[in-house]
Structure 1
Amino acid sequence: MGPPRQRIITTLLLIATLFFSGAPAAAHDQATPGLHPVILLPGYSCSQLDARLTDDYEPPTPACGVRKQGRGWFRLWENYTALQEDPALLPCYQDQLHLVYDHAAGDYRNAPGVETRVVSFGTTRSFRFDDPVQKNACLERLVEALEGAGYKEGSNLFGAPYDFRYAPAAPGVAARSFAGFRSRLTRLIERASEMNGNKPVIIVTHSFGGDYALEFLHQSPLPWRRRYVKHFVVLCAGIGGSPLIMQVVASTMGSPPPPPTLLGTVLSLGNRSFEVIPFFLPSPKVYGDRPLVITRAKNYSAENMPEFLAAVGFSDDEIARYRTRALPLTLNIRAPLVPMTCISGIGVPTIDRLVYSDANFTEKPQVVNGDGDGIVNLENVLALERFIGNDPAQPYFKSVFIPNTTHNGMISDDSALKLVVTEILKASQATS
């Protein structure tokens, strides 16, 4: 039987304390005994992908096929070094990354002739990038901080990268990519537990990794969750979507894209083909009928999202897939029924509403900011308290707000990292 349910809302000033009280940091090459194993799920675009091209691939330009076709696996995402050396490769990578919808199978898949695989599943090696922007946007610094606190790669520290082009899927929806991920993550968690004296694991996620992990937990049997998952630590949870994505999809009409962010840049690479784009749109359960896009003639909210998608050029088929694949999940925000800590940045201007004159989506909108971490709106974070923290069946829920901390700063700023590792260690030390 778990401890009495607790819901604690705390606002923490940035602190400069040791990773944990009363014990020195362990050497990187030796795991500290007694720690519960940690499984890390990265944010959007922080899993690396390999690809290989078969004879069925039809390149947009001859150079895209001649260089790679029939030559085995190569790094498709993220190939920063290759693009620095030859920017002409960008259209090739865009073409090879895009997805197509197979109506017969009712599922998304790679373009014909493109095969892909996630790099180094089970390890944190794929969280390391040669792109300096990605170093602070992904989990490399958190891995180093956990190693400094006594964790060791492959011993009690593991990674669960995923193909970020695809979205989690509700039960009964054809989703080969997510089904494969669920199977691999289940085996990884069980193996990590067995390697560590049958201790249950701590799942730690950043950003979109929280969406993947939450749906994974929902679809795992409750006895299995109670046996294998000790705690769920969510950093910068984007569960419930963001008005920022409405500007991203509007930019496909020819308007200027949002201010450069890694999220917007990678989504634009998919040219609207990625399954995940509709999944990022604001959830009616979180945002209701509050206007998010304002024009003189009509306002658009999360509740009339199909009308907005039609206005920015989505086809009837694309809108139907939003209704059948994305919307059921964004409406189904509920407690995972395992102990949960949610750590969020606040105090950073974050897109709250967009104003377009005369519904002209080819123009740059006026942006009205609210509070958040620069990507995730505070309203989204507070919804987790309403729908998860207030569920009487949820055994434990704790929400921590770190002032003046950005989405990426949560996993790159020293002070935020210290707090995050402290919370992970508290979860490891907590008694049942």
Structure 2
Amino acid sequence: MEAQQHRLTTALVLLLAAVLFSVGAQSSEAHGAASLHPVILLPGYSCGQLDARLTDEYKPPTPGCGVPKQGRRWFRLWENYTALQEDPALLPCYEDQLRLVYDRAAGDYRNLPGVETRVVSFGTTRSFFFDDPAIKNTCMERLVEALEGVGYTEGANLFGAPYDFRYAPAAPGVASRAFADFSSSLRLLVEHASVTNGNRPVILVTHSFGGLYATEFLNRSPLPWRRRYVKHLVMLCLGVGGSPVIMQVLASSTSSPSPSTTLLGSVLAFGNRSFASTLSLLPSPKVYGDTPLVITRARNYSAKDMTEFLAAVGFTDDEVQRYRTRALPVTLNFRGPLVPMTSINGVGVPTIDRLIYWDGNFSAKPQVVNSDGDGIISLDTVLALQTFVGDDPDQRYFKSVLIPNMTHTGMISDHSALNRVVKEILEANQATSS
């Protein structure tokens, strides 16, 4: 009996120890998650999903695209892989409904008359999850999963700030309602995320074009607000100064897409000239200078010759003027956000540096001359970022990380790259500077 009682006592002690250990471990994990600074993700180009609604004012390119087809309800305009699988005839409808027009009276871009749009699920990361398998690794879905693996939780300390990728920040003082509305929403989201997480300042994490949105948002926010609410900016896959790739996009849009082209290919690969964002991605003279970027038998075009290049590929005088007044000043006046910043870029991947249209036929496929980069962003623009931000005495902290043999999309989908990105985010959590 005594031995049995001893065994029972021992078992109870071990059980109690196991329970206490489990509670202690859970408390430790909970404390670790509770100590994390909230993260807000800004995705890359084309990664903000859009809903649309049509009114009687809309003039469809074909009868099947009109209001009777969709009714007055909201429907998914971008990205709509499932709908296009079911009815490929909707492709020209979606292409048309995505177009922007320029309102001269307002001095700003807007939707086509009769088309209303809204960004899907602002404040959450839900819109980063796409039906199209071709996009799954390009829009932060894997990064969301990686952050959840280290203690982040959607809606608690992990948030998303998708935006309408058709628009772009315009020069200060120039009308840009879409960017102004986004900035107001992001400011409220940052403050909400901070207040609901013990007043901890947030970490902004961006990919590609989201970095431009973030830096312009920060630079146009009061410095005391930045230092109160933003602990760190982690910017993935963005240098400074645009890319010659966009010149190829604009040149190729002089030709017609093939019947088999997907919506993604038609709108992005062939280029939609109506998008304000297209002009904001062009190479900056501040970075590329007078280096030839497009070469023809008759003449070469550098970043300093961008207005002439735009005219050569069919832009009107009014469209060229919008480049001069809206997009160019933003690229020329880039500056560091004056909050602690980490820039992470891939290198070692062939990246377009020059385009050769020897016969001057911009609808033809060009010969390309490659340089170093991540396949989209060149190393030259990353080095320019290091100079513009790293050499600024008012920039309190700047770190540049280069990951060998890493592509633009691999940065947010490749396991090893995600590990490094999460490591930098966790280090930003622990940094004493804010």
Q: Does 1:32 align with 2:46?
A: no
The answer (yes or no) to whether the contact 2:240–2:287 under 8 Å persists in 1 is no
The DSSP-based 3-state class of the residue aligned with 1:137 is coil
CA spacing shift, 1:84–1:30, aligned 2, 3 Å: farther
Residues 373 and 67 of structure 1: is their aligned pair in 2 closer, same or farther, counting only changes over 3 Å? Answer: farther
CA contact (8 A) 1:337 1:395 kept: yes
Q: Which residue pairs with 1:321 in the alignment?
A: 322
**Tell me, what secondary structure is at the counterpart of 2:186?**
helix
Residue 213 of structure 1 corresponds to 214
Equivalences for 1:391-402 in 2 at 5 Å? 391-402=392-403
Superposed, which structure 2 residues align to 1:68-147 within 5 Å?
Answer: 68-147=69-148
| Structure 1 residues 191 and 95: alpha-carbon distance in aligned structure 2, compared to 1, 3 A threshold | same
The aligned residue for residue 254 of structure 1 is 255
| CA gap 1:25/1:130 in 2 versus in 1, 3 angstroms | farther
Residues 231 and 26 (structure 1), Cα distance of their counterparts in 2 relative to 1, 3 Å cut: farther
Matched residues in 2 for 1:390 and 1:410: separation?
A: 26
Runs of at least 5 residues in structure 1 that lack an aligned partner in the other structure = 1-23
SS class of match (2:175): coil
How big is the shift at 1:254? 2.2
Distance apart, 1:322 and its partner CA: 0.3
What amino acid is aligned across from residue 113 of structure 1 in structure 2?
A: G
C-alpha change, 1:414 and 1:327, in structure 2 (3 Å) is same
- Pairs within 5 Å for 1:8-407: 32-254=33-255, 265-268=266-269, 271-407=272-408
For residue 360 of structure 1, report the CA deviation from its aligned partner. Answer: 2.1
Question: How far is 1:251 from its partner?
Answer: 0.7
CA–CA distance in 2 between the matches of 1:210 and 1:262?
Answer: 25
SS in 2 for 1:383: helix
Letter of the 1:378 counterpart: L
How far did 1:358 drift? 2.7
CA distance in 2, matches of 1:354, 1:268: 16
Counterpart contact for 1:53–1:68, Cα < 8 Å: no
Deviation at 1:113, TM superposition (A): 0.3
Q: CA deviation at 1:114?
A: 0.3
**1 CA distance for matches of 2:224 and 2:256?**
50
Q: CA deviation at 1:123?
A: 0.4
Kindly state the Cα deviation for residue 31 of structure 1 after the two structures are TM-superposed: 7.9
Cα separation, 2, equivalents of 1:134 and 1:162: 17
Distance across 1 between alignment mates of 2:237 and 2:107: 32
Tell me: higher relative CO, structure 1 or 2? Use CA pairs within 8 A at least 6 residues apart.
1
Which ranges in structure 2 are unaligned for 5 or more consecutive residues?
Answer: 1-24
CA 1:25–1:369: 2 relative to 1, 3 Å: farther
Alpha carbons of 1:261 and 1:417: their partners in 2 closer, same or farther (altered >3 Å)? farther
Name the residue aligned to 2:15. none
Q: CA RMSD in A?
A: 2.2
Match of 1:122, SS state, is: coil
- Tell me how far apart the structure 2 counterparts of residues 200 and 370 of structure 1 sit (CA, whole Å): 38
Q: Which amino acid aligns with 1:320?
A: Q
Q: Describe the shift of the 1:236–1:263 C-alpha distance in structure 2 as closer, same or farther (beyond 3 A).
A: farther
Q: Secondary structure at the match of 1:90?
A: helix
Distance 1:263 1:429, change over 3 A: farther
Other-structure match for 2:20: none
Task: Check the 8 A contact 2:343/2:401 in 1, yes or no.
Answer: yes
Tell whether the 8 Å contact from 1:54 to 1:69 is kept in structure 2 after alignment: no
Structure-1 separation of matches of 2:385 and 2:161: 23
What TM-score, normalized by structure 2, do the two folds share?
0.90
Deviations 1:358-385 (A, max 9, x none): 3221322110011100111111111101
User: Match for 1:292: what amino acid?
Assistant: L
- Between the aligned partners of 2:212 and 2:403, the Cα distance in structure 1 is 21
Take 2:200 and 2:393, find their aligned partners in 1: how far apart are those partners?
A: 26
- Check the 8 A contact 1:376/1:407 in 2, yes or no: yes
Moved more, 160-169 or 63-72: 63-72
Q: Determine the C-alpha separation between the residues in 1 that align with 2:262 and 2:404.
A: 21
Distance 1:168 1:120, change over 3 A: same
Q: Secondary structure in 1 aligned to 2:324? A: helix
* 1:405 CA drift (Å): 0.5
Look up the SS of the partner of 1:51 in the other structure.
strand
Contact 2:253 2:271 in 1 (8 A): no
Closer, same or farther: CA 26–153 of 1 in aligned 2, 3 Å: farther
Give 2:192's aligned amino acid: R
Secondary structure at the aligned position of 2:195 is classed as helix
Instruction: Tell me the distance in 1 between the aligned counterparts of 2:366 and 2:169.
Output: 30
Q: Residue 155 of structure 2 aligns to which amino acid in structure 1?
A: G
Kindly indicate whether the alpha-carbon contact (under 8 Å) linking 2:42 and 2:160 is maintained by their aligned counterparts in 1. yes
What secondary structure does 2:394 align onto? coil
Counterpart AA for 2:42: L
Query: In 1, Cα distance between the equivalents of 2:108 and 2:27?
Result: 46
Query: For the Cα contact (< 8 Å) 2:239–2:385, is it kept in 1?
Result: no
Asked if the contact 1:309/1:319 (under 8 Å) is kept, the reply is: yes
Partner of 1:10: none
1:410-421 pair list within 5 angstroms: 410-421=411-422
3-state SS of 1:357 partner: coil
Query: How many residues matched?
Result: 407
Amino acid at match of 1:247: Q
Distance 2:222 2:360 in 1: 47
Kept in 1, the 8 Å contact 2:374–2:406? The answer is yes
Question: Could you say which structure has the larger radius of gyration?
Answer: 2
* Distance of 2:27 and 2:83 partners within structure 1: 37
- Give the alignment's TM-score, normalised by structure 1: 0.90
Q: Would the aligned equivalents of 1:25 and 1:148 in 2 still touch at CA under 8 Å? A: no
The DSSP-based 3-state class of the residue aligned with 2:134 is: helix
For residue 69 of structure 1, report the CA deviation from its aligned partner: 4.3
